[in-house]
Amino acid sequence: MTPDPILVRPARVDDVATILTFIRELADYERLSHAVVASEASLRDALFCDTPAAEVLIAEVDGKPAGFALFFHNFSTFLARRGLYLEDLYVRTTDRRLGVGRALLTRLAALAVERGCGRMEWSVLNWNESARRFYESLGAEPMSEWTTYRLTGSALAELGSLSPKSLSDDIGR
């Protein structure tokens, strides 16, 4: 019996350089290269510490890295259960149409079920029609009634500086 040509496994600390390469390739594809400030050190600190901020799955095709999925848990107040949020899914152009994306999403869905998650969510750029068609072919539904908001940079710093001290002290408890 021949081994499955696609292997999906948890990332290891020695995958940090590969993860950063995938992030940069994804940013190029999404026309957001200018936004990447991640480094190997910052990824190592965030992903392979005592309380990781996120987890990563690496997909390999014939033993070579082909893609990744970076995810973390969120929480649904309506379900009173945690969910799995897929921050990034990327498959190298040379490995697309081989089932790598499906393998990553299948493993993520299995993790969500194993961990008792009530749902799995992610965002996709509106212009990425091929990704949207792919996700919908798996049964995912677009949430068109929701708009994503983001607070970053000076706007985040400014709003954060307005926070009463007593509130910030309570959050850590």
C-alpha torsion angle, residues 109, 32, 25, 11 (rounded to 10) = -40
* Distance, CA of 96 to CA of 114 (rounded, Å): 27
Tokens of 89: 């899914």
Paired tokens of 101: 């994306």
Q: Read off the tokens for 71.
A: 């995810």
Sign of CA dihedral 116, 134, 88, 161: negative
Tell me how far apart the alpha carbons of residues 18 and 87 are, in angstroms, rounded to a whole number.
17
- Both tokens of residue 31? 């026309």
If we measure between CA atoms, which residue out of 3, 5, 14, 1 comes closest to residue 60? 5
Taking each helix axis from N to C end, the angle separating 16-29 and 40-47, rounded to the nearest 10 degrees, works out to 110
- Catalytic site residues? 135
In Å, how far from its chain's centre is CA 32?
Answer: 16
